[in-house]
Amino acid sequence: AQSVTQLGSHVSVSEGALVLLRCNYSSSVPPYLFWYVQYPNQGLQLLLKYTSAATLVKGINGFEAEFKKSETSFHLTKPSAHMSDAAEYFCALMPGGYQKVTFGTGTKLQVIP
Amino acid sequence: ETGVTQTPRHLVMGMTNKKSLKCEQHLGHNAMYWYKQSAKKPLELMFVYNFKEQTENNSVPSRFSPECPNSSHLFLHLHTLQPEDSALYLCASSSRGRVGANTQYFGPGTRLTVL
């Protein structure tokens, strides 16, 4: 069975501080992993994806994530939070790179001025 | 238009109404999806279409009826809905076939309110 766990439904950081959003997965086959961002009243926008190439993946808006197989993790980071980063972030798993995607429950990021 | 578009963006309907949601993708993809996003619940996959054929129906009630006339268009026909069907309905598309090419791209969603 495949699953995605996002630790912390709400995360608050100060503007300029490090952003760390946690994602752990379970997959019986090599996973493809994604981070999406959702702004209020909008759809999901792809931030970055891991597709079995480099384990450190860089995405848009200064975000990056590192695939750690030993820890079954794919945490999302950004060195310095900006007010515009306030949104909900979803981690997603596609087992084996095939079609069906399992989404985490999301983490709402609040950025404090 | 680029990416995935959805219309209408907002819809309010009574329980006896019939309405349709429309999705169009401009990415040259051949797979399309409907998702339901409710407050405090994970994103729920409803339907999957590959090359216009429905390949997945996740036990969705029959009051939701999808239609995929071609690889670029996807509809969700709604009738006799319940208040608990109020949610954000998201459409997505992807390429199908090549492993790793299946990244899903989402539309902005339709916010549905059932009175």
For A40-78, write each residue's pLDDT tens digit: 888 999 999 998 878 999 999 999 999 999 999 999 999
Contact list, B56 vs chain A (CB under 8 Å): 100
The SS3 assignment for A61 reads helix
Phi, psi of A39 (to 5 degrees): -90, 160
How crowded is residue A44: how many other Cβ atoms within 10 Å of its Cβ?
A: 28
A90 CB within 8 Å of a chain B CB: yes
Q: Whole-angstrom Cα distance, residue B111 to residue A29? A: 35
At residue B95, the pLDDT reads 85
Instruction: Residue B86: name the closest of B33, B26, B32, B41 by CA.
Output: B41
Contact list, A97 vs chain B (CB under 8 Å): 99-100, 102
Contact list, B43 vs chain A (CB under 8 Å): 90, 103
CB B11 within 8 A of CB B21: yes
For A3-45, write each residue's pLDDT tens digit: 999 999 999 999 999 999 999 999 988 889 999 999 988 899 9
Q: Give B59's pLDDT tier (boundaries 50, 70, 90).
A: confident
Which amino acid, residue B1?
E
